[in-house]
Amino acid sequence: MATSVQLESNSMQSPTSVDGQPPRFVYVQTFGCQMNVNDTDRIHQVLAPYNYTPTTDPAQANLILLNTCSVRDRAEHKMMSRLGRLAPLKEFNDDLILGVAGCVAQQEGEKLLAKVPYLDLVFGPDHVAKLPVLLDRVRGSEGRVSETKFFKRKDYAFLEAEPRDDVKVSEFVTIMKGCDKVCAFCIVPFTRGREVSKSPEMIIREVKKLVAGGAREITLLGQNVNSYGKDISAKGDRVPTFAQLLRDVDAIEGVERLRFTTSHPMDCIDDLIACFGDVPSLCEFFHLPVQSGSNEILEAMRRFYTRASYLARVENLRRQCPDIALSTDIIVGFPGETEAQFQDTLSLLAEVRYDSIFAFKYSERPGTRAAKMGDTVPEPEKKRRLAEVLELQAGITRAKMEAYVGQELEILVEGPSKKSSAGGEGRFQIMGRTRSNLIVNVPVPLGEFWSNRWIGRLAKVRVLEAKSNSLFGEFV
């Protein structure tokens, strides 16, 4: 756990010193994407010097934070109902501070404080580093605090991740925050603000610390990683392109596998494509969200590519790296989407034959351009379209998984398989991922299961069976 907090540049007030304060407990529940998971790590990091220990029991906590997601309204509803269930704890504990962080906090700000009378604190993602100061303000004369102003680009400071004692085999490193794109459906640019890139030096230091702590696989994280560094180079400072950054991270000793997420197809340019098959640790896997197969819908979504230009990129990628596994995001029921336009999405899925997809029903988000277009596709129709997309993809995924049976693949062992906790025949299985991001479960003798000796190792497995979402195999 962290013992100090380093900021890239320092624009913080100092919070009250920890001296003499009793130990406290913090409970954080994280909703949504990997960015939020990363912010939760930073929350723990920034609180540790102030005597806060993480707890998994909200009843034990002096501080409860919900780190929220607002990308679709379902995530938002889930968070509101969780808040309601936590409220009674306030009656038993006068000292308890209840707060909302993340994207709903950024989106709602003061309105959330007004709506939820027992809430003490609301703060957006830009303010994680300032959390101790915000807590002082809550305990002081202000009582209830909302802080959602975005920092100016030049004032934004990343928190440098410190060495931890719980480093996993596969770790994420945030390389930038925010998104400068204008996809009509998306709330992220409103909740996460403008793009700001972390300095390459800080990224390299973080990767080195993680590798020293036992990480073997690093995923570079950003809303649109291909834009990495553009904000820095606009100021005249020299900065690697994203493709160069991949090469620099690859060169760090101990990085066995490298991944990144997410890319916008518009920015998936040749120098990035050239990295596949050329940068040794870069895994043959690419998540390239297409959203729709219809040119009219892509234009209304303001995605700035066409079906044909997207397919051309897929073709380039496959030419460069024939084994590359592809995944994507799909939205069904975008405002005005006709049956014919929906069919274009199905035909694109059939044409590309992704290894896996994430598909969502369109969810109207306040303040976005798409919200002005009305939510025209009725819910039952969205449901039907989603079911069709999922059914088509299930067949493709199944066929692709079955094609692996009999093959020998390299996995990076992450730990006990999910099945091992369920008991039964899967009791002593461990799991690892292939470079193409597939999960393979492998049985091991009881003694080896408990010894953890496989964790973090690259090992060859022979695939014996394809299950619905994973493979089953044996060590070669």
**Which residues contact ligand SAH (rule: CB under 6 A)?**
71-72, 185-186, 188, 223-224, 262, 289, 291, 329, 331, 360, 362-363, 365
Report in angstroms how near the CB of residue 242 gets to ligand SAH at its nearest.
14
Longest dimension (CA), the chain: 68
Strand, coil or helix: 444: coil
Which among ligand F3S, ligand SAH, none contacts residue 189 (Cβ within 5 to 8 A by kind)? Answer: ligand F3S
Site for ligand F3S in 369-388 (CB under 6 A): none
Is 376 or 407 the residue whose CB approaches ligand SAH more closely?
376
Q: CB under 5 to 8 A by kind: which of ligand SAH, ligand F3S, none does 360 bind?
A: ligand SAH
Q: Least CB distance from residue 156 to ligand F3S, whole Å?
A: 17
Q: How far is the CB of 125 from ligand SAH (least distance, A)?
A: 13
List 461's β-bridge partners, or say none: 409, 475
Quick note: the x/- pattern for ligand F3S over 225-264, rule CB under 6 A, is ---------------------------------------x
Q: Which of ligand SAH, ligand F3S, none is residue 50 near (CB under 5 to 8 Å by kind)?
A: none
Closest CA relative to residue 403, chosen from 332, 353, 476, 474: 353
| Token pair in block for residue 143 | 């009582």
Q: What type of residue sits at position 316?
A: N
> Please, what is the minimum distance in Å from the beta carbon of residue 148 to ligand SAH?
20
The correct pick among 98, 119, 179, 440 for binding ligand F3S (CB under 6 A) is 179
Nearest-angstrom CA–CA distance, 43 and 40: 5
Beta bridge mates, 459: 411
Residues 258-277 that bind ligand F3S (CB under 6 A): 264
- Is 35 an interacting residue with respect to ligand F3S (CB under 6 A)? no
Please count the other Cβ atoms lying within 10 Å of the Cβ belonging to residue 379: 10
Interface pick for ligand F3S out of 98, 188, 220, 331 (rule CB under 6 A): 188
- For residue 29, count CB atoms less than 10 angstroms from its CB and return exposed for 0-12, middle for 13-18, buried for 19 or more: middle
Helix (H, G, I), strand (E, B) or coil at 45: helix
Q: What does each C-alpha distance from 81 to 64, 74, 103 come to in angstroms?
A: 15, 11, 16
- Is-contact 256 265, C-beta < 8 A? no
Measured from the CB atom, is 209 or 287 closer to ligand F3S?
A: 287
Q: How many residues bind ligand F3S (CB under 6 A)?
A: 9
Q: Which one of residues 69, 183, 215, 386 is an interface residue with ligand F3S (CB under 6 A)? A: 183
Q: Please pick, from the candidates 189, 229, 335, 443, the single residue that binds ligand F3S as defined by CB under 6 A.
A: 189
Q: Is the dihedral of CA 460, 464, 466, 471 positive or negative?
A: negative
**In degrees, to the nearest 5, what angle opens at C-alpha 44 toward C-alphas 39 and 49?**
135
Residue whose C-alpha is closest to residue 322's, from 286, 281, 297, 268? 286
Fill in the amino acid letter for 376: T
Question: Would you count residue 438 as binding ligand F3S (CB under 6 A)?
Answer: no
Find the binder of ligand F3S among 40, 62, 107, 223 (CB under 6 A): 223
Interface residues with ligand F3S (CB under 6 A) are 179, 181, 183, 186, 188-189, 223-224, 264
